[in-house]
A and B are shown apart, each in its own frame.
Chain A
Amino acid sequence: MTNEALQKLINDWIPDLEFSEEESQFLNITVKPENLHQLMSDLKSNKETSFDYLFCLSGVDWQPELGVVYHLESTTHRHIIVVKVKTTDRENPVLDTVCDIWRTAEFHEREVFDFFGIKFNNHPNLKRLFLTDEWEGFPLRKDYEDEINMVIK
């Protein structure tokens, strides 16, 4: 399915979606955190989109927003879409988990929690993955400072 057709189809499902194809090779959708889970399960279950393969889940610190970027691909239609979700709460950022939709998200979300401190509602096992439990701060955030371990330029 082409990007235009995808945009046309998905636009009717949920209000307040932002579409963009600028500065990216894929179709980008920005969704509000409260609509994230609904959109994601629709993207997977809808026969025409059937995005069943979440191939990349990355946390991003956009300053001031924190967010997650989901790269989705359909193994039947072979189209790719990018979903972005942002939250401005840096103290206690909370998003919905998608690991009930794609099992791979379970590990990836733990990684995001580890490095960005984004909490995921309903995640079965949300704890630090790489770092120790007593680690302070979230290293991949832009405002993270660690004078001992980081080479600061």
Chain B
Amino acid sequence: METTLIKSNFKSEEYFINMGPQHPATHGVLRLLLTIDGEIIKKVEPDLGYIHRSIEKMCERDSYQQIVHLTDRMDYLSSHINNEAVCLTVENALQLDIPDRVKVIRTILGELTRIASHTLWWGVMGMDVGALTTYFYGFRDREMINDIFEETCGARLTMNYNIPGGLMFDIHPNFVQRTKDFIKHFKTKLPEYDTLLTGNVIFQKRMKGVGILSKEDAISFGASGPVGRGSGYSCDVRKHHPYSAYDKVTFNEALKTEGDTFARYQVRIQEMWESMAIIEQLIDNIPEGDVQVATNAVIKLPKGEFYQKVETARGELGVYIISTGTKNPYRVKFRSPGFSNLSLLNHIAVGGKIGDLVASMATLDLVIPDIDR
């Protein structure tokens, strides 16, 4: 039976609330303008630009070698893959024949980057839903990868290991052994993630049926990476447009059809297993050979337009370079995965509670410098 309040002095009003730019759940300087009715989200409006550095404009000024280093600062958690994207674009434009050794090393490092990014995501994801311990478990495993990176190229986060034409230098002699050690270690630790968080009843109640994104919407919103795959949309660039050594390895694309936050969560956990499988296939037979092809000191791309997509930990990164034949690009556009993924936040968060918004946002895995560029 429906009851209606005929005479009521109550007046309910929607109100605004400012989430960010300093807020624990936005993981960076993202500002969300929320319109709320009690606890229920009516509208989410992101306000961006707090960390915009105009990388695209800077690229028009810089040479192609310099551009690579700017891309580290976009999605700093997939810095190696970002570097790779620019290098691949330039190499394809110059039609360089890249040695297999370079391709394999790039792929291994790319997958290590993906695991490192996902472990960090898993840690902060747990924090966002209130399980504070996950953070340290995630970081424990990420540290090992960062140590490998440090030994390989001297940097732990912004790697700069790729240059147009190959790698800056060869891998460290310990690299293969340490990577194997890490895989061995992580195979025992990844099930711990499930014990600690995935199987928890409260966690599942928080995640299931929250922030639902249908497959059609995922495609329309340009979702990519685990966000798209959580909705059953097969969008793995490594499968559909293979680059580097991805055509030589076999792996499964993690797909879930539920489209809720729990599906996106599971996709990322599954991806860590797949990444380990990829590394295992490659680590034992890294081909011998050069790690660089000689390029001119001043790289001039031929006149034309070049587009390269790669799969970062967050989704599809596109590099679009328009060249007029000079040493500087005429226009560079980075199609960042976080930017498109953020645009669907309003769609999936409306109607939920504040807690649901935080959970949804956590599974979008936003890195704000990647959105702002």
Interface residues of A (CB under 8 A from B): 22-26, 28, 52-56, 58, 60-61, 69, 71, 75, 78, 82, 102-104, 106-108, 111, 115, 129-132, 139-140, 150-151, 153
Q: Give 16 CB contacts A-B under 8 Å.
A: A22-B304, A24-B304, A55-B318, A56-B333, A58-B333, A71-B335, A75-B234, A103-B347, A104-B220, A104-B340, A104-B343, A107-B340, A111-B339, A130-B372, A151-B61, A153-B61
Asked if B54 is at the interface of the complex by the 8 Å CB criterion, the answer is yes
Is there an interface contact between A131 and B49, defined as CB atoms closer than 8 Å? yes
Beyond contacts A61-B331, A132-B49: 20 other A-B pairs, Cβ-Cβ < 8 A, are A23-B302, A23-B304, A24-B306, A25-B92, A28-B305, A54-B222, A55-B335, A71-B307, A71-B335, A78-B240, A82-B305, A103-B222, A103-B344, A111-B339, A129-B48, A130-B48, A130-B49, A139-B54, A140-B56, A153-B61
Asked if B57 is at the interface of the complex by the 8 Å CB criterion, the answer is yes
Could you tell me the distance in whole angstroms from the C-beta of A29 to the nearest C-beta in chain B? 13
Is there an interface contact between A75 and B343, defined as CB atoms closer than 8 Å? no
Is there an interface contact between B49 and A58, defined as CB atoms closer than 8 Å? no
Asked if B219 is at the interface of the complex by the 8 Å CB criterion, the answer is yes
Could you tell me the distance in whole angstroms from the C-beta of A79 to the nearest C-beta in chain B? 11
Interface positions, chain B 22-50, Cβ under 8 Å from A, are 48-49
Asked if B217 is at the interface of the complex by the 8 Å CB criterion, the answer is yes
Contact of B219 among A75, A78, A82 (CB under 8 A): A75
Is there an interface contact between A102 and B52, defined as CB atoms closer than 8 Å? no
User: Interface size of B by Cβ–Cβ distance < 8 Å?
Assistant: 39
Is there an interface contact between B316 and A55, defined as CB atoms closer than 8 Å? yes
Interface positions, chain B 300-315, Cβ under 8 Å from A, are 302-307, 309
Residues of A within 8 A of B320 (CB): 56, 58, 69, 71
Known: A75-B219, A103-B343, A103-B344. A25 touches B233 (CB 8 A): no
Is there an interface contact between A129 and B49, defined as CB atoms closer than 8 Å? yes
Is there an interface contact between A25 and B322, defined as CB atoms closer than 8 Å? no
Residues of B within 8 A of A132 (CB): 49
Is there an interface contact between B307 and A26, defined as CB atoms closer than 8 Å? yes
Contact of A24 among B49, B235, B305, B339 (CB under 8 A): B305
Interface of B is mostly: mixed
Interface positions, chain B 306-358, Cβ under 8 Å from A, are 306-307, 309, 316, 318, 320, 322, 331, 333, 335, 339-340, 342-344, 347
Alpha-carbon distance between A71 and B334 when the two chains are bound, in angstroms: 12
Residues of A within 8 A of B217 (CB): 103
Closest A residue to B234 using CB positions: A75
Closest B residue to A80 using CB positions: B307
Is there an interface contact between B335 and A53, defined as CB atoms closer than 8 Å? no
Is there an interface contact between A140 and B57, defined as CB atoms closer than 8 Å? yes
Asked if B221 is at the interface of the complex by the 8 Å CB criterion, the answer is yes
Residues of A within 8 A of B335 (CB): 55-56, 58, 71
Closest A residue to B237 using CB positions: A55
Could you tell me the distance in whole angstroms from the C-beta of A59 to the nearest C-beta in chain B? 8
Interface positions, chain B 43-97, Cβ under 8 Å from A, are 48-49, 52, 54, 56-57, 61, 92
Alpha-carbon distance between A153 and B327 when the two chains are bound, in angstroms: 14
Residues of A within 8 A of B318 (CB): 55-56, 71
Residues of A within 8 A of B316 (CB): 55
Residues of B within 8 A of A108 (CB): 339-340
Known: A55-B318, A56-B333, A107-B340. A139 touches B219 (CB 8 A): no
Q: Which 7 A-B pairs have the closest CB atoms?
A: A23-B304, A104-B222, A130-B49, A58-B333, A107-B343, A56-B335, A103-B220
Interface positions, chain B 80-120, Cβ under 8 Å from A, are 92
